[in-house]
Amino acid sequence: MKPQQSGIILLIVILFSLQTMAAPPQSYSLAWEHQFEEGYITTGPVIFEDTVFVRTSGYWVGDERPKVTAFDFDGNLLWNYTNNASTQHDMAPLLVVENGEGFCGSWETMLLVPWANGDLTAHNVSTGELVWNQSTMVDQWGLTGRAIVHDDLVTIPTRHGLAEFCLADGVEQTMYQLGLGWRNGVSKDPNGTWIGDENGTLWSIQNGTVEQFDAGEGFIRHAPVMTNDGVVIHLQTLTGSEILFFNSTSKSFTLLNTSGASPGFPFSIGSFVVTTDSTYVRIFDCSTACLQVDSIRSHSNGEVGIDGDNRLWVPQNVMNGGTLVLSLNTTGAIVSSSSFNTTLDGYSTASPTFSTSTNSIMVFGNDFGALRLYSQKIDVFSAEKEYKLTEFLLGFTFFLFVATCAKFVIKGSKIWALRLLFTSLLISLLLISPQLMTILQESKPEALLQKEEEFWSPDWPLEWNNTQIVMIDLPSGQIVDGGFTGYDTVYELTIAMAEKNNISIAVQEFYFGVFFESFSGVTGNGWEFVVDGELGEVSADQYEMPTSGILRWTLAS
Amino acid sequence: MFSAIGTHGPILSPIADTLLDIFFVGLAIMLFANSKPSKMQSFFFLSFVCIIVAGRVILQPLPNVQPVTLAVFLMGAHQGTRRGMSFAILVTLLSNLFIGDGWWTLFQAIGWSAVAAFGAWATARSSAKIELDVLLPLLVVSSILFDIITTLSLIDSSTTITSFMSILYSGLLYDMFHILGNLCFAVWLGGSIQDFLMPMENINEESVMAEDLHVISG
């Protein structure tokens, strides 16, 4: 083989390896779809053995009533149950309870369905037949929150508190009058039972003793998330949201971060707590104190699915949103993100559900009443295997590279050896540039650190004090806005400021980060930023914005 | 062309902008005309300008990876300082029309002109192909020279030696991209570019010889 041919083959292999690295992390293909004639699917389907259960919520108008439907994995309808007394807001998650025995007697495996008209119904999973039915108090609506099962009881949030029923016969055991609730699921830990309400109150019930803690002005519309030392809640406020940690020892709240509007359901995965809202997915490490580890831009207001590889599937509640798929490393940092898109992309708050017995089945529904089952036919493309494949290809390519270079050197073709060497070095430099930028920034000599203070302008409103302020130096003049809080990166803050001030922006995404190409159509030679006088030496999405500070965008020289 | 402003540079009025444009275009034409090119050489020269401008624009997404430094160096090396500088100015002005003009254009034009002069000086206007062993280290030096000159555009009244060193440090990664990119272009395209530039030199010599013969015979 001629040196030129060997070189070209090697380059193709290098490019193929790079292509493999960028491949999407999943390979689900559509098995079947069921379109409900009317009704939203706003709650994730439930998979039990080889059956898929899904609930639809009625529209705000019309005669269609909410129902629960069961399908097998081939898409065949097994049964359905319509609650003609329920009208709307049927969003409480379904719950499968496996057969057991307790103080009240024994029960077969059943599906528990909380309804907006206050009913809690138990169904035979095979036939849908009603096993028992209990009613709770209704105030506009009844049951909307997540129930939990412990021992032989089901604990469910009611409109005005919570109640416990025997699984065997549905007989009410206890009932607590607490605050008014909506979608406020219930949680349990050794310290008791926890629930939030529409007044921003966190309730704790331990051995019959009820305590309440004021989290602030807002709504708690999810089940509190239990951690080692306390409880995490995502309080919905009038202007956005607050992520709070309640220390169960000191019985005090700590603000972890402020965030966007309409929080979704926070949840824990290992020692990490994940929150979602209209602006970000945030990950907190709650192994000791809850500290934010990472965040990523997202618009998610409902549930999040977790697959067998512990990837997070975050439905985007926007038109054409798709699902954001995130992988975390052992420190909780987001190591990869990709988008799972289908022809049904649209508003969605229901999470995809994965079969627990096999990772090859995924079911999801959306706000348009479409239910889809996907199967992962090529198992070899699971994340771990793909990672190994990529590692193998990179290793193989490196071996091939060394071997080919050696061959060229031995054969005396210096030019081809140099071509491969420099091209590989350039590609490598491009690939590791994000890490290199960080290393260079961190290892910058102390003597070279610039701290040109950006002075507070007396023209600025006092409310901007201790907030995030953005300045954009356009040729036509400077645009300044402030009062921003809770933005983690320069990119997020800039986007928020530009949206608020109707400034058109253009960004370019590279492997090593996101760069702003233009503001108000002004391109120049690119834009650079300084934060509190310090030049940004990494991309805008990688530069952490302090909780208060001055960000200034200027045309690059 | 210079109407856009760099934050670290002066704001140019439209008149100053136009005058600067005229000055640079005039300088480029004068430098080229003084090198007494033939029509064929002029055609090749302009074609080469277009190719390199296109290359710079196309490769814009890759940070600081651009074929201009190599092309300018070789133009200086094979065609002399005047044509090299003329080439550098034209490529800078034209490519910045596409990817953004500003105060930096001035420094880029000066930087690449310096590289062309360096190429002519270091190789003594070579009439033979420059060997890679010689070309590669000279390109590394050229890249650093260009980077330092363009960094001067960031100097303003508030710049101290420390802050200038800090700016140079901040650009280290991009300098690495520039150097490595030039080395890549040199090993892949250096030979072809030199093949392209050498006939221009020969055309010049041949045409001069033909004219001389014509004069003698006439």
> Of the candidates A504, A485, A486, A508, which has an alpha carbon nearest to the alpha carbon of residue A495?
A504
**What is the C-alpha to C-alpha distance for residues A17 and A15, in angstroms, rounded to an integer?**
5
* Integer Cα distance of B3 and B6 in angstroms: 10
Cβ contacts (< 8 Å) between A473 and chain B: which residues? Answer: 7
Residue B39 lies in a domain: yes
Confirm if A553 and A519 have CB atoms less than 8 A apart.
yes
CB contact under 8 A, B99 and A444: no
User: How many independent structural domains does chain B possess?
Assistant: 1
Q: Which residues partner with A95 through β-bridges? A: A112
Which chain B residues are Cβ-neighbours of A440 within 8 angstroms? 169, 172-173
Residue of B nearest to A441 (CA): B170
Domain that holds residue B52: 14-217
Contact state of A557 with B132 under an 8 Å Cβ cutoff: no
Instruction: Give the model confidence (pLDDT) of B72-128 as tens digits.
Output: 999 999 888 999 999 999 999 998 888 777 777 888 999 999 999 999 998 876 667
Sign of the C-alpha dihedral, residues A309, A312, A314, A320? Answer: negative
* Tokens standing for residue A277: 């809202």
Contacts of A145 by beta carbon, 8 Å cutoff, 6+ apart: A92, A114, A156, A157, A181, A182, A183, A184, A185, A186, A195, A223
Instruction: Return the pLDDT at B36.
Output: 78
Would you kindly state where each structural domain of chain A is located, as residue ranges?
A: 3-21+384-443, 449-555
Rounded Cα–Cα distance for residues B145 and A485 (Å): 44
Check if the beta carbon of residue A308 is closer than 8 Å to that of residue A357: no
Strand partners, A105: A102
Q: How many Cβ atoms sit within 10 Å of the Cβ of residue A104?
A: 16
Residue B1 lies in a domain: no
Question: Would you say residue A182 has pLDDT above 80?
Answer: yes
Is residue B9, in this structure, part of any structural domain at all? no
Q: Does a structural domain hold residue B96? A: yes
Count of other CB atoms within 10 angstroms of residue B214: 9
Closest CA to A44 of A96, A6, A9: A96
Contacts of B63 in chain A (CB under 8 A): 433, 510
Two tokens at A404? 């080919």
- The two counts, helices (H) then strands (E), for chain A are 4, 41
* Range A449-555: architecture per CATH: Beta Complex (2.170)
Quote the CA–CA distance of A206 and A195 in Å, as a whole number. Answer: 12
The answer to ipTM > 0.85 is: no
pLDDT digits (tens, 9 = 90+) for A313-348: 999 887 767 888 888 888 888 888 888 877 777 778
Mean pLDDT over the full length of chain A: 82
Residue A156: pLDDT band (50, 70, 90) is very high
CB B55 within 8 A of CB B65: no
pLDDT over 70 at A110, yes or no: yes
Contacts of A447 in chain B (CB under 8 A): 162
Pairing label, strands A549-555, A468-474:
parallel
When CB atoms are compared, the residue of B6, B184, B191 closest to A557 is B6
**Rounded Cα–Cα distance for residues A410 and B145 (Å):** 35
Beta-strand pair A370-375/A468-474: unpaired
Residue A237, token pair as written in the block: 């406020």
Q: What integer pLDDT is reported at residue A380 of this predicted model? A: 39
> What does the block give as tokens for A48?
């039990």
**What angle do the packed helices A414-442 and A383-411 form, to 10 degrees?**
130
Q: How far is B211 from chain A, CA to nearest CA, in Å? A: 40
Residue A186 has pLDDT above 50, yes or no: yes
Q: Which of A50, A73, A28, A23 is nearest to A377 (CA)?
A: A28
- Chain pair A-B, CB pairs under 8 angstroms: 95
Binned at pLDDT 50, 70 and 90, residue B70 comes out as very high
- Chain B: closest CA distance from residue A472 (Å): 11
Full 3-state SS string of A380-397? HHCHHHHHHHHHHHHHHH
Question: How many residues belong to chain A?
Answer: 557
**Per-residue pLDDT band at A201 (split at 50, 70, 90):** very high
CA distance A159 to A92: 12
